[in-house]
Chains A and B, each alone.
Chain A
Amino acid sequence: MEKMSRVTTALGGSALTGRTMNCHLDAPANAISVCRDAAQVVVAGRSIFKIYAIEEEQFVEKLNLRVGRKPSLNLSCADVVWHQMDENLLATAATNGVVVTWNLGRPSRNKQDQLFTEHKRTVNKVCFHPTEAHVLLSGSQDGFMKCFDLRRKDSVSTFSGQSESVRDVQFSIRDYFTFASTFENGNVQLWDIRRPDRCERMFTAHNGPVFCCDWHPEDRGWLATGGRDKMVKVWDMTTPRAKEMHCVQTIASVARVKWRPECRHHLATCSMMVDHNIYVWDVRRPFVPAAMFEEHRDVTTGIAWRHPHDPCFLLSGSKDSTLCQHLFRDASQPVERANPEGLCYGLFGDVAFAAKESLVAAESGRKPYAGDRRHPIFFKRKLDPAEPFSGLASSALSVFETESGGGSMSWFVDTAERYALAGRPLAELCDHNAKVARELGRNQVAQTWTMLRIIYCSPGLVPSASLNHSVGKGSSCGLPLMNSFNLKDMAPGLGSETRLDRSKGDTRSDTVLLDSSATLITNEDNEETEGSDVPADYLLGDVEGEEDELYPLDPEHVHPEEPEYVLPQEAFPLRHEILDTPSGPEHLQDKADSPHVSGSEADAASLAPVDSFSLLSISHALYDSRLPTDFFSVLVCDMLRFYAEQGDVQMAVSVLIVLGERVRKDIDEQTQEHWYTSYIDLLQRFCLWNVSNEVVKLSTSRAVSCLNQASTTLHVNCSNCKRPMSSRGWVCDRCHRCASMCAVCHHVVKGLFVWCQGCSHGGHLQHIMKWLEGSSHCPAGCGHLCEYS
């Protein structure tokens, strides 16, 4: 009687009281259910079955229903439900397939009432009829749903799910005879309790198992379902075809879903794996949860609203063996932490930007462009009482106009394309880049490059003399020196094979000739601070003039800005495109990339025994009185950060790549990675794919350099039947025809395929190139004047 009076007060409008609290259970919970008086909760699990009273400040254990000495599987509960009409009646579903009912009114300690052992496999769910006192429904792994009348010993009717496992069953709250069931294959079925022969309606709701469903407490025919595919969907069942009304994408599979009382569009979900939080969603705003409860340390297994007419109290049980009461006002609300912003481009490059007013006001000091006209506009929206976010509706809108010409980024594109980042000695790179910058009218940048060259490459005046000195003195070194030059310049010309050989030679240190050349080259590329005098010497000394001639001699020493790559595409599997481009920077990069960075120390050590040449230059370096380059590195790093701050991340990254080891160690990995990714992002926005790929390859940061290793698959469709070709790129599974034939050699093209966009004939890149040297007509003989850009 006491209980009854409590209920009436609760229903009579005097709100429930309590606080956010939790209590430790002895074992993980599998499910919870609330008594209709909102003052008691039952917790069930594999080895726990207890009733707790919910008091103001704490949970108090009221009753332990696991009695008896021996543990029984009948008590290992997968689900529990408390009758909403009779507070003495409970039902549990056991993992061994038994459905048990409990009568709390029994005088003995053992409250077990009835035992139904009709299911052959685990029962996943039990459900009482919302208004009928004696009707119980169960859904089991064996694919059957059974309806029990508690006045009888066995089931009244059995509903077959065609041997698909049933995950959830729920009586409709509004329709007396209807219940919904969800299945492991993604289906949802609607049944009439009077017609066990076949279901009223069936539709596929999810991809993979549907773990749960819940009828809307007020809106007739609204059913929320949650599945392993991480979706919560709301269906309207009143229409002849179940219509998907809302869809919420969560971050993990949805284990339970419960509509929030008194809030038409809110529902609570919890997950079965990985994610431990409970979310309350507004189904109309499917991207950000309206509220979030983060108390649990392991997955939440059961959620229940404490009272069917009170939206503030949520109870939950979890695998971490705690029972929690969550108060809505204590929930964290991700929406509040989010800053609603809108950004849109106009037709002529104008940018409109809207943000919460407070944010804009706080940042008023930062006006990016002088020519901005700012119109703070306050939106007045019709206030929707159900919309809790209306408070955010006041916002400021700014429109930025582009200055004619000033906003153009052509300098960026030009710079990106013309900068040389690797493949030449440092001094030359700096000079080249300085020249590029100057031509584009960026004098400060040009100046910076010049200074870098002075800092890192200028040997002062001593070395130029020293080289003469060394050449003159030790004529014995002339031969190895020449050798090394020849090898270096010929190697790339000989194509990939030689390169491979040579790189093998690099790793072996027994061949003297190769070793000496390798030593020189790696020194030059990696530019160890100590050893950098050597190449610098010969570059700035008398050989300098020759150097300019040497490069053009090299037929394949293609600079990145020249687009004619010759790709030996047939020789290598396309996946490993690193091996494919024999352009200048590439082969050097090969080294900088893999074993050679580490190898360079070893090389530096082996430098000594090579000949007198290196010995001499080292000795010169010893009494070279200029400041060590390390002295400047702090300054240079500051400079890089300055450029990055300014927004010229291009400069920062370019210098980083060009200077390589010298500065890399002074800037932390994360910053570098951040610069790289921003620059690569910018480059890709300007469609500078080649440059961006080069930057990726030259980067030393692991996270960046793996960017071009992922998703290297290219999906193609058959030119014949237009179906995707799944397994191989050149022959179609369906029509069994080779899709791409070369128009010149009439063989299948397995590598790069180039074709004319006018007549769609094409073939091997090299064949087409060769063909077009002699003729401008299509090689297929279709008469088209082919154009390749």
Chain B
Amino acid sequence: MRLATAANEAYTTSLTVSELLGCKQCGGGRVQDEELGIKIPRPLGHGPSRFIPEKEILQVGSEDTQMHALFADSFAALGRLDNITLVMVFHPQYLESFLKTQHYLLQMDGPLPLHYRHYIGIMAAARHQCSYLVNLHVNDFLHVGGDPKWLNGLENAPQKLQNLGELNKVLAHRPWLITKEHIEGLLKAEEHSWSLAELVHAVVLLTHYHSLASFTFGCGISPEIHCDGGHTFRPPSVSNYCICDITNGNHNVDEMQVNSAGNISVSESFFEVEALMEKMKQLQECRDEEEASQEEMASRFEIEKRESMCVFSSDDEEVTPARDVSRHFEDTSYGYKDFSRHGMHVPTFRVQDYCWEDHGYSLVNRLYPDVGQLIDEKFHIAYNLTYNTMAMHKDVDTSMLRRAIWNYIHCMFGIRYDDYDYGEINQLLDRSFKVYIKTVVCTPEKVTKRMYDSFWRQFKHSEKVHVNLLLIEARMQAELLYALRAITRYMT
């Protein structure tokens, strides 16, 4: 089951990065037992994430009781403690809700058979060429008795799942194009038709895995050791670069900054945080005095929407997806396109007319009981999660910053909040941060360690993971809103 070529590619790119960094050799590594002639796999990479140094991440065994219970639950539900869990445990409160939802979606009573659920997960993750998730779910898929033939490509799966391919594609890249005709096409396809309940289950799974793929790339999750790309049989050698070099580079603040983002001094990056704090304070204070006119407010949204497409990093080269992963979906060229660049006018989605709390929740809960509740909780936790810290500062009210991030992501999908001044986004989110957000949300497969490192340099890793949680939940909600609105329109 060689599906992880994409991951290997990712490795090659990161290895080149490590070359740039002037890698020092790494010590350690397992001794190969040559006497017996057995190849012993050696873990590639150290720790669950390529972006976050291993020692920053909680070690299994040193967790407190709450985390321990979480780990135990996760292990029991999945039969493993995957790297996603290990990274997310920075935020145990969220992790708990996340695991509960995922467990319910994949294993509890629901309209779709188990192997369908994993297959849909594979389809969704493959859209973003996320070999990590594809590998995990290929295993699960086979484990629950899925037909291995299906894995040869979507065309080998039942017609019913093939029909879902189109929705998967649109949902992942241009959710605003979903119409009730898409829904109708799925629900009225003779013997291959979906029921409404099944469709809602599928939509929730698709959005869940699209955003999880964002998280995987956004935090640089390393492949699991049992998957391809997670281990090597190569003996450790002094001349070879090892992934740990990159993480080592992280500890040395000066070196990292010099290398990854040009010549920015420590003090400068220190001021970054100060400046951000200052801006937040200003916005808070001057809010009441300054009265932006209506047109200005409207145009600010448009500007932000338009600008959000320009923030793409310059190296916008077309990555052709690895064949192995791409066989799970068709039309590999179909990617995220910004509205205006594409030359068409997409009507703005007003959240006041269709929002998750009032409309989406009721629809999901009606067709797939209890899931609405679980997702609702997850959104709430992600949106409201705060430790009132910012880098080295304590007792900061970060609600403004979190709202800016959330609304910026929705803005990229054309979702507008009437009661939000989009000028704030420009003040609070600097360019490198926007590039990161944009990449993680829209084209997660292009995230590099450089991007991860170059935003918010003074912030802790846990805070960057926190940002990622906001990103994936906002993305999931945006996709869900479009899909559910189409379903609602179909129903009325």
Chain A interface residues toward B at CB < 8 A:
28, 46, 70, 72-74, 76, 78, 94-97, 117, 119-122, 141, 184, 208-209, 211, 228, 252-253, 255, 272-274, 276, 297-299, 320, 576, 710-711, 713, 727-728, 733
Q: Which residue of B lies closest to A165 (CB)?
A: B357
Contacting residues, chain A, for B352 (C-beta < 8 A): 46, 76, 78, 95, 122
Contacting residues, chain A, for B492 (C-beta < 8 A): 276, 297-299, 320
Contact (Cβ within 8 A) A272 B419: no
A184 to B384, CA, bound (A): 14
Counting from the closest, the 10 A-B pairs by CB-CB distance are A95-B418, A273-B362, A95-B352, A121-B419, A72-B294, A96-B418, A727-B76, A122-B419, A97-B419, A253-B362
> Which of the four size classes fits the interface of chain B?
20 to 34
With most chain A CB atoms within 10 A of its CB, the pick from B108, B353, B362 is B362
- B77 at the A interface (CB under 8 A): yes
From residue A666, how far is it (CB to closest CB) to chain B in Å? Answer: 21
- B266 at the A interface (CB under 8 A): no
A78 to B358, CA, bound (A): 13
Where chain B touches its partner, the secondary structure class is: helix
Chain B interface residues toward A at CB < 8 A:
69, 72-73, 76-77, 108-109, 145, 287, 291, 294-295, 297-298, 350, 352-353, 357-359, 361-363, 366, 373, 376, 418-420, 488, 491-492
From residue A250, how far is it (CB to closest CB) to chain B in Å? Answer: 12
From residue A715, how far is it (CB to closest CB) to chain B in Å? Answer: 12
Contact (Cβ within 8 A) B109 A710: yes
Contact (Cβ within 8 A) A73 B362: no
Where chain A touches its partner, the secondary structure class is: loop
Contact (Cβ within 8 A) B362 A96: no
A73 to B77, CA, bound (A): 48
Contacting residues, chain A, for B373 (C-beta < 8 A): 208
From residue B301, how far is it (CB to closest CB) to chain A in Å? Answer: 10
A97 to B297, CA, bound (A): 13
Choice from A28, A96, A252, A274 contacting B297 with Cβ under 8 Å: A96
Chosen A-B contacts, 12 in total, with CB atoms closer than 8 Å, are A95-B350, A119-B419, A121-B419, A121-B420, A184-B357, A208-B373, A272-B359, A272-B362, A273-B362, A273-B363, A273-B366, A298-B492
A184 to B294, CA, bound (A): 28
Contact (Cβ within 8 A) A274 B291: no
Contact (Cβ within 8 A) B359 A713: no
A378 to B78, CA, bound (A): 64
Choice from B73, B294, B366 contacting A70 with Cβ under 8 Å: B294
A255 to B69, CA, bound (A): 40
Contacting residues, chain A, for B297 (C-beta < 8 A): 73, 96
Q: A727-B76, A733-B72 are in contact. Are A252 and B418 (CB under 8 A)?
A: no
Q: A274-B491, A710-B109 are in contact. Are A73 and B418 (CB under 8 A)?
A: yes
Contacting residues, chain B, for A78 (C-beta < 8 A): 352
Contacting residues, chain B, for A94 (C-beta < 8 A): 418
Contacting residues, chain B, for A95 (C-beta < 8 A): 350, 352, 418-419
Choice from B69, B350, B361 contacting A46 with Cβ under 8 Å: B350
Contact (Cβ within 8 A) B357 A46: no
Contact (Cβ within 8 A) A728 B76: yes
From residue A274, how far is it (CB to closest CB) to chain B in Å? Answer: 6
A68 to B492, CA, bound (A): 33
From residue B391, how far is it (CB to closest CB) to chain A in Å? Answer: 24
Contact (Cβ within 8 A) A273 B418: no
Contacting residues, chain B, for A298 (C-beta < 8 A): 492
Contacting residues, chain B, for A76 (C-beta < 8 A): 352, 418
Q: A46-B350, A72-B294, A95-B418 are in contact. Are A727 and B77 (CB under 8 A)?
A: yes
Contact (Cβ within 8 A) B362 A228: yes
From residue B484, how far is it (CB to closest CB) to chain A in Å? Answer: 10
A255 to B145, CA, bound (A): 45
Contacting residues, chain B, for A274 (C-beta < 8 A): 362-363, 366, 488, 491
With most chain B CB atoms within 10 A of its CB, the pick from A70, A95, A298 is A95
From residue B458, how far is it (CB to closest CB) to chain A in Å? Answer: 28
Contact (Cβ within 8 A) B361 A228: yes
Contacting residues, chain B, for A122 (C-beta < 8 A): 352, 418-419
Q: A120-B287, A272-B362, A273-B488 are in contact. Are A73 and B357 (CB under 8 A)?
A: no
A728 to B291, CA, bound (A): 58
